[in-house]
Amino acid sequence: MSKLPPVEKLPLVLRKNIRDEWDNKKPDLEQKLSDTLTAPWTVDVNPNQLYAYAEEGYAKESLGSCIAEYINGAIYRLKEFKDNAGEDGLKELNTICYAHTITIDLDDASRFLYCGADIHEGKLRILFAPGKLGTNIDYALDREVLLKALNEAPTPASEEVATLSFAARSDISKEYDPKAEDIRAQIANILSKSDIKLSPNFDDTFAKLREASEANKADFRSDWDGLLGSFTRLYWEGLIYQLKYQKFDEDELLREGFHEAVEKGEIAFRIVDALKHDSYCECEVEDGVLYLQCTAKTWGANIDNAAQGLVDRL
């Protein structure tokens, strides 16, 4: 459906509803929006334009109330996003949506059945499908929809192009970074080597998983990038479990053997094309580095077993 021109003049009863239920409430809603996103945000909607798409029912009869409900729903969903993504995720949203504006527009590309969202020229756009203005309002900024919009948003011209998606960066920030040093310290303590290094190799893992996802979408979990930090952390935690289970914390000879083989003192994660020793994940010592590895297809499967053959590799 192509865009329609704005309606020149609205019925009196509708203008009253817009004044009472939208215009009068807009400043308060913008303040709530700004408080939620910790930055000044505005709402930019044109009731005359929206009315061109209104059919019988709520949007046709109470457009002002309908607009206010869209914004209230957006604020609720953005609060959910903030609680889940934390300060770093909120900072990224404000950077990606650099215009700090919410608007409502037609989904002229027919991407959504009822409603959804995208980011266009730095604006967060609530989109409604043709004939669906006012339908399923509270789901326009559903978590998965918003994450997809942020992932697909063009990078602002002033920002360095990011290798990782928003979902991947957010998960690393929330689920990996705060715990990484403690995990490294636990491994260092078990191995009696204070300067042990962990190399998550996020960029390489992301690139290989994205390639596998694009090649086989039907067989690949859709939320893979939102688990990049979580799963990498779990591989390290699985290593801790295996080191203790295999008695590296109790046996000096095992620790000596480890340091002789892993002479660079580095433990890394990587995605490989094929496994040599196991069906899901394994470890391998190569050029003085211990690698925990899996294929793109088996990423995240049997995580705790990646280092179960460690003694045999040393």
Per-residue pLDDT of 217-237, as tens digits, reads: 767 888 899 999 999 999 999
N-term to C-term CA, the chain: 64
Position 239 scores a pLDDT of 97
Residue 54: Cβ-neighbour burial (10 angstroms; 0-12, 13-18, 19+): buried
Interstrand relation of 123-128 and 101-106 (parallel, antiparallel or unpaired): parallel
Question: Does the pLDDT value for residue 183 go beyond 50?
Answer: yes
Question: What pLDDT does 89 receive?
Answer: 87
CA atoms of 188 and 241, how far apart (whole Å): 13
**pLDDT score of 161 more than 50:** no
pLDDT at 302 over 50: yes
Going by their DSSP bridges, the two strands 281-286 and 289-294 should be labelled as: antiparallel
CB 117, CB 126: distance < 8 Å? yes
- 173 pLDDT more than 70: yes
The pLDDT tens digits for 105-150 are 999 999 999 999 999 999 999 999 999 999 999 999 998 899 999 9
Mean pLDDT of the chain: 93
